[in-house]
A and B are shown apart, each in its own frame.
Chain A
Amino acid sequence: MSDIRLMKGNEAVAHAAVRCGCDGYFGYPITPQSEVLETLMELRPWESTGMVVLQAESEIGAINMIYGAACTGKMVMTSSSSPGISLMGEGFSYIAGAELPCVVVNVARGGPGLGTIQPGQSDYFLATKAGGHGDFNMIVLAPNSVQEMYNFVFDAFELAFKYRNPVMILSDGVIGQMMERVELSEPLPRRTDGQIVEQMRSWAVTGKPVGAQRNIVTSVQLDPIVQENVNHRLQAKYKVIREKEVRYEAIGCEDADHILVAYGCSARISHKAMELARDAGHKVGLFRPVTLFPFPYEQLDSVCKRAKGFLSVELSAGQMIEDVRLAVGCRARVEHFGRMGGVIHSPNEVWQALQEKLLNR
């Protein structure tokens, strides 16, 4: 029997955490994502599934609790918004360096600095290029609906454990705060400690069986050759991720002369802008990267092979546009449009920008 409800994206994340068998959530309040922690505290999953929920003293505390809990092979997640995500950067680097699975939800807001509490998409670079120090990548999923906020928690955990890598769900204040219909799936049971030992003992810290080999989770290698080998291993993993885990959605792109490229809330807004353009007789498509790392470079180029102009629509000064340019090279015109600092562009503004920057040139 289906369980259909009306809820916010942030609430959907909390329900997904409980229903996907998550073992622990550690978080710190910050607008516009606090409903994740609040909903979990209302759901009281420690009484049903045994999932631990803890309000940490800071985002730094939260991400290090995640690091510790992830070391034990458990399914753990946190959520925050842009300034808090910056604070977690050290932890992302350690988690990636130590090759641990975890899920991080960023309900992004306008920046820089303390910025605004309204939606933003200016954490694209942070999420996809520079989550912290050192050569590492997080897998980045970008939901554009409340249903995807729910579904992607499941997908993120699957990817996190498949690759033993941090996975970020890069959302924004629109998707986190808006209410939509969402279908909740049947709850999955949490793994038992016995199952975790059986499945994860090759690397996880679960208490060393007497006489057996101890496990050490670390990201420090004092010998540079050993550290370089770690880096080679990480890069080999990222290569596989780039080859196998690209996800995107293409709407009306095959025959389009012009393409709107957008993710998250900008994809929803651009969808309407695409309809306005088509109503006016223009062949315009919408290409939505669902994974931002790995970015669908080849797919964007091949699916939109007829297109002679691309408009990267993002609530930022233009961050994803760099990847759009990498994807299509010099064969087409690539422009950017986006409001910033918490201002949300309207479909009409996107449609106007499309005309000014591409159609009427």
Chain B
Amino acid sequence: MAEELVYKKPRLLTDKDFHFCPGCSHGTIHKVIAEVIDQMGMENSSIGITPVGCSVLAYNYIDIDWVQAAHGRACAVATGIKRLNPSKLVFTYQGDGDLAAIGTGETIHAANRGDNIVVIYVNNAVYGMTGGQMAPTTLLGMKTVTTPNGRDAKLHGYPFKVGEMISQLEGVCYFTRQSVHTAAGVRRARKALRRAFELSMEGRGLSFVEFVGTCSSGWKMSAVEANKWLDENMLPFYPLSAE
């Protein structure tokens, strides 16, 4: 029987080994981005901006032009690129520490100006790269290395739903929340990302694509446990968008 090739690594993913931990969502999200850019034929017109955090090295894995931004400043960097290069697809890739804490100001104002950029926001409720500290998005009661007894609202405030806030702004044309912890989720995510890229190139405003992701190391869980924990704890608080 002749073999049939049903799946292969996306063309725009490089051969470099991921530095991500087993069970981390970043690798899958990288794959989805590489696939959508290739499908849309935008390899030569895409410029990505990496944040500070685990995904700082995204430029090692997706074969397009990249800029590495200072912590939290990706949306301002994207604004500078897009304003002077309106024909390019300009997107940021940011974690919740980068975007929802130190970069809140830059994010909100890019959104409010309606800059035609796509913000890919990966929310795993902790600072991954620095070792699992509390993020603005950390759930109440959730244990991290800086909330060893669990996040207490009286001490640390409340988990921050950035997407819901951003979506209220006039300059935002699209907000969606996705996850890639199931095969169906990956399919939906691919569709959502494509829609965001298309809207951006139509000049409709800022698109905000949130991924609720896992951080197995920061959460101190196995890959399987992390996926389960995401389902049971993250998604009730950060509900995925309807299809």
Contacts and interface: CB of A to CB of B under 8 A. Distances in A.
A61 interface: yes
Most interface-central of B76, B79, B109 (chain A CB within 10 A): B76
Nearest to A219: B68
A305 to B, nearest CB: 46
Interface of A: 23-24, 26, 52, 54, 56-58, 60-62, 64-72, 74, 76, 90-91, 94, 98, 193, 205-210, 214-220
B118 interface: no
Contacts of B76: 56-57, 60-62, 64-65, 68
B120 interface: no
Nearest to B63: A214
Contacts of B56: 220
21 contacts: A54-B79, A60-B76, A61-B79, A61-B105, A61-B106, A62-B76, A64-B69, A64-B70, A64-B80, A68-B79, A68-B80, A69-B84, A72-B81, A72-B85, A90-B70, A208-B46, A208-B63, A214-B64, A217-B66, A218-B59, A218-B68
B186 interface: no
B106 A60 contact: yes
Nearest to B60: A216
Nearest to A212: B44
Most buried by A among B43, B46, B80, B106: B80
Contacts of A205: 47, 65-67, 81
Given A64-B73, A207-B85, 8 more contacts: A26-B80, A60-B73, A68-B76, A205-B67, A208-B65, A209-B44, A214-B66, A218-B66
Interface of B: 43-47, 49-50, 56, 59, 63-70, 73, 76-81, 83-85, 88, 105-106, 109
A215 B59 CA distance: 9
B80 A76 contact: yes
Contacts of B83: 24, 52, 54, 65, 69
A288 to B, nearest CB: 35
Nearest to B41: A210
B209 to A, nearest CB: 20
Contact of A65 (B45, B50, B59, B77): B77
Contacts of B84: 23-24, 52, 69, 72, 74, 76
Contacts of A54: 79, 83
B70 A215 contact: no
Contacts of B77: 64-65, 67-68, 71
Contacts of B43: 208, 210
Nearest to B48: A205
A207 B91 CA distance: 12
Contacts of A65: 76-77, 79-80, 83
Which of A54, A90, A219: most chain B CB closer than 10 A?
Answer: A54
B154 to A, nearest CB: 31
Nearest to B52: A220
B45 A71 contact: no
A214 B79 contact: no
B68 A210 contact: no
A58 B70 CA distance: 15
A-B residue pairs, 5 tightest by C-beta: A68-B80, A65-B80, A68-B77, A64-B76, A218-B68
B45 A207 contact: yes
Q: Pick the most buried of B44, B63, B73, B84: most chain A CB atoms within 10 A of its CB.
A: B84
Contacts of A26: 80
A210 to B, nearest CB: 5
Contact of B59 (A23, A74, A216): A216
A339 to B, nearest CB: 36
Contacts of B63: 208, 214
A49 B77 CA distance: 23
A316 B217 CA distance: 52
A221 B105 CA distance: 27
A57 B79 CA distance: 12
Given A54-B83, A68-B81, A207-B44, A214 B65 contact: yes
Contact of A216 (B65, B80, B109): B65
Given A207-B46, A208-B63, A209-B44, A220 B80 contact: no
Given A61-B76, A210-B44, A216-B59, A71 B67 contact: yes
A215 B81 CA distance: 14
Contacts of A215: 65-66
B220 to A, nearest CB: 24
A94 B70 contact: yes
A60 B85 CA distance: 21
A74 to B, nearest CB: 5
A165 B203 CA distance: 33
